[in-house]
Every structure is written in C-alpha cells, then in structure tokens.
Structure 1
C-alpha cells in the first residue's frame, strides 16, 4: 500500500463516497434518458464522434506545419483534412454517419470476437479458458447480428450501446460509492 499516493488512499476516497454516489445517480439518469430516446442517443453519439474527429483533424493540421520535411507536411495535412471532412460529414448527415459507424462497429466486434475465440481456444490447458472462449463467441455473434440487421439497425444500435454504457457505469459508480462508505 506504500506505493499508492496519499491522494488515492482509502480514507481520502472514503470521505468522497457521496461524489461517487452522485455521479452514479447522474449517469443512471442519463442512461435512462438515452434508453427512452434511442434514436436521439444515436444522433448524439454521432455528433460526439464527429466533434472528436473535427478536433483531431484540426490538431493534425496544426501539427502538419510543425514538421520540417515536405513529405511529412503533406502526410499530416492530408490526415487532418480527412479527419475534418469526416467530422463535418457526421454533422451534416448524422443518419448516414450512424450507418457507417454501425457497420464499423459490427466489423470490429466480429474481428475482436474471432480473435478472442482463438485466444480462448489456445488457452485450453489454463483453468478458466472457457470463459475467454465464450466471451469471444458472444462478441463475434454480436458483430454478426449487427451486420445482419444493417443498415436498418443503424438508427438505434449506437444509442443502445450508449444507454447501456451509461447505465453500467452509473451502477458501478453507485455501488463503488456505497462500498467505500462502509
């Protein structure tokens, strides 16, 4: 315990339990609002990603003119322009952007699931390998199910993921806050 800085010590955290509970309640409320308005939550997710892409593109463009050689300037500037264009696209056509993001999500889940299944299978001699294998299969199946419903499910998948994430994070902060109170 000597490695942990004083600001992260248990008494310090314990005195802040109410903040964790408040954050948990706020996240749960936001998750319920998102769950009640899945399509609006999807659009909000797309706007969030678009904003991050715009900021990233601007940073790339600023960085492009900090490098010295012409070929590096061209690479960084092109990257920045592409990020900015993608961000603008997310704001000008959020429904089409949600379809693209949903397709990317399904592909990412499928690839991650196949990889995790392979890792789980290779871990067979190790106790608990079945959990890794099952996790991989479920993740891959989620990717396939999303891909099979695409593009129609693009209106609600991202919003559903956002709502679930907010609810899970909220419950975990709430539980953590009450646990450190004791």
Structure 2
C-alpha cells in the first residue's frame, strides 16, 4: 500500500468517528440539559446509582474477602466491604440520607479544593505569571461550597443533580465540538 492509499484508507473511517463523537456529545448534552432543568430528579437518580454501586461493591468485596480466608487480614476486608454494603443499602432504602451525605461530601470537597487552590496559587505567584487563575479557581470553588453550605439543607435537593447536569452538558458540548473539529481537519 503506498502513501496515498494509506492516507485515503485512514480518512474513510474518520467521518464515521466524527459523527459518533457528535452523536455521543448530543446525548450527553441532552442528559445535561435535562438534569439542569430537573435537578431534583437528577439528584435522586445520581444518589440511586451511587447506592447500587456501593451495594454491588460491598457484595463483590465480601465475596473477595470470603475467598481470601487463608490470609489473616481477610476479616478486615470483610468488615470494610460489609460496611460498604450496609452504606449502599441505607442509601437505597433511605435516599434522603444518601442525598444529604453526598451533599455534605461535596461541600467539604469544594471548600477544601478552594483553600488548596488559593494557597497553591499564592505560593506560585512569584514563579508564574498566570498564578491568578489558580487563585480565581479556588475562589470559585469556595463560593460554590459556601452557597451549598449556607443553603443547607435545602441545597441538598438540587446540588448533585445540577452539578451532574453541568458536567454532562459541558462534556457533551466538548464532544460535539471535537467531532466538528475532527471533521474539519480531515
């Protein structure tokens, strides 16, 4: 196969790849818009998904711990995976508890990320000109964390769903643009 044949063969698949990226992006963006418009439902759906994942993680982990009985530490694994299974069950049976717990975790993560980003930005301020962006990112994280915290417990109803929606929407838009870019560059 010569160079011309090779380049032609390679481009035959790229429009299909471009379309697939675009279609996936459209689906992601649609899910994101739906989650943003219905953040309460998206929060519940996200919590239920996490509950099932914890439940499955616990079940499979307990199976693993059982199979590892010859090792002295198997019991510690059984306790850990048993707690994971129990947490999944609690989240599944009492979604409000799961939503509240996940929202508290998100508050902590946003506030910690904000503080760390600001401190890191200030630390590198003497070395990099763009250090302000790191501080800006930290301030944004602190603001989001504070909004969720000061609105507690009402913010628990919509926070997870809204953030999932924004993430799906931004991921979808980036895939749509990537698909468009792949098409234009070929």
TM-score (normalised: structure 2): 0.87
The Cα shift of 1:162 comes to 1.1
Please name the residue that 2:80 is paired with. Answer: 79
Please name the residue that 1:4 is paired with. Answer: none
> In structure 1, how many angstroms separate the alpha carbons of the residues matched to 2:34 and 2:129?
41
Q: SS at the partner of 1:65?
A: helix
Please name the residue that 1:18 is paired with. Answer: 19
Please name the residue that 2:41 is paired with. Answer: 40
> In structure 2, how many angstroms separate the alpha carbons of the residues matched to 1:138 and 1:13?
38
Structure 1 or 2, whichever has the larger Rg, is 2
The Cα shift of 1:63 comes to 2.0
Please name the residue that 1:176 is paired with. Answer: 178
> In structure 2, how many angstroms separate the alpha carbons of the residues matched to 1:33 and 1:137?
28
TM-score (normalised: structure 1): 0.88
Q: SS at the partner of 1:124?
A: coil
Gaps of 5+ in 1: 1-9
More deviation, 36-45/56-65: 56-65
Alignment of 1:23-172 (within 5 A): 23-67=24-68, 68-70=70-72, 72-125=73-126, 126-172=128-174
The Cα shift of 1:147 comes to 1.1
> In structure 1, how many angstroms separate the alpha carbons of the residues matched to 2:16 and 2:27?
19
> In structure 2, how many angstroms separate the alpha carbons of the residues matched to 1:39 and 1:142?
18
Q: SS at the partner of 1:135?
A: helix
The Cα shift of 1:13 comes to 4.7
Q: SS at the partner of 1:127?
A: coil
Are residues 48 and 134 of structure 1, via their aligned partners in 2, closer, same or farther at CA, if it must alter by over 3 Å? same
The Cα shift of 1:14 comes to 5.1
The Cα shift of 1:59 comes to 2.5
Cα deviation 1:35-66 (Å, max 9, x = unaligned): 22211100001011111111221232122123
> In structure 1, how many angstroms separate the alpha carbons of the residues matched to 2:116 and 2:78?
34
> In structure 1, how many angstroms separate the alpha carbons of the residues matched to 2:37 and 2:145?
24
The Cα shift of 1:15 comes to 4.3
Contact 1:103 1:150 (8 Å CA) reproduced: no
